[in-house]
């Protein structure tokens, strides 16, 4: 028993090195701007999320998100119903909408949508006016205190362009985040979207989000009607 455990531990570095060298699993085709060949999207399987916040942390590490700011987070709720209590987890991030309301308001054209659907901010042009922050119906944008400019989830465009998965997807323990190309008929995400009844957040806004939720409770689809958050970051600003 002890011997076998030692053997296992001894073999661990080899296993992890192998995993690191293995090709990226989900994005096989050429990355980057490609004339609209790809349409990146995400499916969040709510029932698989365990609320570990590994995605939150990996996003911060990958994208150098400043303290008390978040590009993604797993909103966590306590739900009491019919004498039972439970916890509800809802991963939130930029929805990379097809009709993103953050883009037309930008007074300098700093925020734009790439041909592969990813909504990004040109940091050189952004003036930090925060108009896009106001226009986003999902509270997905914020002003980065270190740059003084608009910041948001980019689906880890730098990783996707290099053929890798977004950091949050890579680190998701329960496999709740599925990322891929909707334009690829053989992709897992295409199958999932075609074969399941997907929901999006705030569909009435007409933004056509491209983060789809599997098993989303309607009570959490819009602004949540409940008691306010018990934890708030404190630090810069408000």
Binding footprint of other proteins on the chain (CB under 8 A): 70, 73-82, 87-88, 92, 101, 104-110, 125, 127-131, 133-139, 142-143, 148-149, 201-202, 205, 219, 222-233, 236-238
- Nearest of 33, 25, 163, 171 to residue 91 by alpha carbon: 171
Rounded Cα distance between 140 and 132, Å, is 10
Taking the complex as a whole, how short is the minimal distance between the CB of residue 10 and other proteins, in angstroms?
Answer: 39
Q: What is the SS3 assignment for 84? A: strand
Burial 78-114 (b: 16+ CB within 10 A, else e): eeeeeeeeeebbbbbbbbbbeebbbbeebeeebbebb
Q: Which is nearer to other proteins, 25 or 109 (CB)?
A: 109
In degrees to the nearest 10, what's the CA dihedral of 173, 26, 166, 200?
A: -80
| Residue closer to other proteins (CB basis): 135 or 192 | 135
Which residue, 146 or 194, is less far from other proteins as judged by CB? 146
Q: How far is the CB of 55 from other proteins (least distance, A)?
A: 13
Closest to other proteins by CB, 18 or 237: 237
Shortest gap between Cβ of 60 and other proteins (angstroms)?
A: 12
Residues 61, 38 contacting (CB under 8 angstroms): no
Question: Tokens for 95?
Answer: 């929805």
Decide whether 142 or 179 has the Cβ nearer to other proteins.
142
Between CA 155 and CA 182 the distance in angstroms is 14
User: Shortest Cβ distance from residue 182 to other proteins (Å)?
Assistant: 24
To other proteins, the closest distance from the beta carbon of 45 in angstroms equals: 19
């Amino acid at each position: 028993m002890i011997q076998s455990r030692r053997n296992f531990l001894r073999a661990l570095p080899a296993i992890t090195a192998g995993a690191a060298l293995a090709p990226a699993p989900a994005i096989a085709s050429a990355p980057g701007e490609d004339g609209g060949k790809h349409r990146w999207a995400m499916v969040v399987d709510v029932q698989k999320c365990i609320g570990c916040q590994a995605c939150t942390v990996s996003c911060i590490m990958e994208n150098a998100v400043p303290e008390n700011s978040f590009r993604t987070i797993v909103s966590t709720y306590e739900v009491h119903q019919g004498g039972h209590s439970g916890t509800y987890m809802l991963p939130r991030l930029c929805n990379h909408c097809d009709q993103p309301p953050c883009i037309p308001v930008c007074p300098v054209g700093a925020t734009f949508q790439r041909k592969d659907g990813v909504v990004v901010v040109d940091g050189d042009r952004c003036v930090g006016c925060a108009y896009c922050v106001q226009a986003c119906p999902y509270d997905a944008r914020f002003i980065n205190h270190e740059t003084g400019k608009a910041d948001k989830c980019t689906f880890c465009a730098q990783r996707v362009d290099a053929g890798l998965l977004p950091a949050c997807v890579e680190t998701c323990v329960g496999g709740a985040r599925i990322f891929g190309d909707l334009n690829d008929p053989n992709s897992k995400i295409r199958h999932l979207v075609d074969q399941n009844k997907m929901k999006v957040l705030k569909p009435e806004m007409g933004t056509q989000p491209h983060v789809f939720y599997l098993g989303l409770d309607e009570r959490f689809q819009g602004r949540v009607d409940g008691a306010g958050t018990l934890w708030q970051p404190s630090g810069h600003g408000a």
